[in-house]
Amino acid sequence: KVKKKNPDRSKAVLGAKSNKKIKVSGKHVLPFLKSFHELHKSGLPIAEALRILSSRVKDPAQQKINRNILRSIQEGKSFSDSLADMSQVFDAGSINLIGAGEMTGNLHVVLERLIEYMENRRAMRNRVATAMVYPCIILVAALIVVGIFLFVLMPKMQSLFDSLGGQLPLATRMLLGLADFLLYVGPFLVGGIFFLVIALWRWHKTDTGAMLLDRLLLKVPLVGNMIIYSETTQITQTLGLLLENGVTTVEAFTLTGRTIGNRYVAEEFKDVRQKVIEGTAVSNALETMGIMPDIMLDLIAVGENTGNLVPSLYEVTRIFQQRLGGILTTLTGVISLGALLFAFMFVALIAFGIVSAIFNVSSSLSH
């Protein structure tokens, strides 16, 4: 008797033959599908492909996925139903797509498109993360430079100037006052920022907080555009993939809604789904969200009117992924430039204060 696992858990803990438990998560899905697709498209039956994978792969998590699915196949279940038994690992959209591929006899074609889709999503996430690395490095380096000048060099300069005597200029006194202020207030300031971030993070976990903060993010210059393009291309790409492979329109909109990360956009998309169920054209329903660019809606409308909705969705995805790349480049440049300007202006101010103090002390000594 097969014991059903809890589908609400984010990770499946699959029992091994040994006492050790192996955690399997969504990150293992793409490697599994790629390996399985390579064998299945060569003509191997599903069970045989899984049996070969079970003996070939070295990763324990991959082995457990293969063995669990193979066990379900041997019990007479379909491939998609076997994946559904591991719903903690495989999302509903992937399961439905694979089920549609099995029914139409195009499983290897569906797997190919699904793998391409997953790789595109992963590449976009990596691109966003990579784009943020350089500005963060610049910002941290700028803060370190300013900190060294403010908390190491300036106190030493103050001791030197005090020993020489003379009145320090206003700019130098302001810098020394700022250094003293930050030394006393700094720990409280850092602690306050830390607790504020934690509070906002916890609030964002609530429905009210997530809705409000996610909506506010859409209004932030550049960041808002980046989120809008990211979410809308996610919508069009997922819809295109699902509709192309035989998933019903209602089910496609339901599954697409689950892939949206921004809570406000996801809530608005529920209304879009309802309007489509009521018979509203897809382009008109998407327009009610109020975030999709007009050119995107026009392309989708043309695709609907000509019976080429899926190609239009893919074309929209391609165009706006390119635009998203442009926004990422711009955002990276703005943050980097801002960090460099901040560091330059602060170092220039410190240099001015030091030079002014030296001239003042020199004047005092000459008199």
- Highest average pLDDT, of 18-32, 76-90, 270-284, comes from 270-284
Please check whether residues 66 and 171 belong to one and the same domain.
no
State the average pLDDT over residues 190-214.
86
- Domain containing residue 346: 121-367
| Span of 127-136, 188-197, 250-259 with lowest mean pLDDT | 127-136
**What percentage of the chain reaches a pLDDT higher than 70?**
90
Q: 116 lies in a domain?
A: no
Please check whether residues 231 and 345 belong to one and the same domain.
yes
Q: What is the pLDDT of residue 165?
A: 62
284 or 167, which is more confident: 284
Please check whether residues 130 and 73 belong to one and the same domain.
no
Q: What is the pLDDT of residue 275?
A: 93
Please check whether residues 130 and 50 belong to one and the same domain.
no
State the average pLDDT over residues 150-173.
72
pLDDT surpassing 70 at residue 191: yes
Please check whether residues 176 and 248 belong to one and the same domain.
yes
Please check whether residues 86 and 234 belong to one and the same domain.
no
pTM for this one? 0.68
307: left (phi over 0), alpha (psi -120 to 50) or beta: left
State the average pLDDT over residues 5-12.
41
Q: What is the pLDDT of residue 198?
A: 92
23 or 117, which is more confident: 117
How many structural domains comprise the chain?
2
> Residue 228 maps to which CATH number?
1.20.81.30
pLDDT surpassing 80 at residue 170: no
pLDDT surpassing 60 at residue 320: yes
Q: Given 44, 68, 90, which residue is the final one in a domain?
A: 90
Please check whether residues 267 and 140 belong to one and the same domain.
yes
Phi, psi dihedral angles at 353 (to 5 degrees): -65, -40
Mean pLDDT of the chain: 81
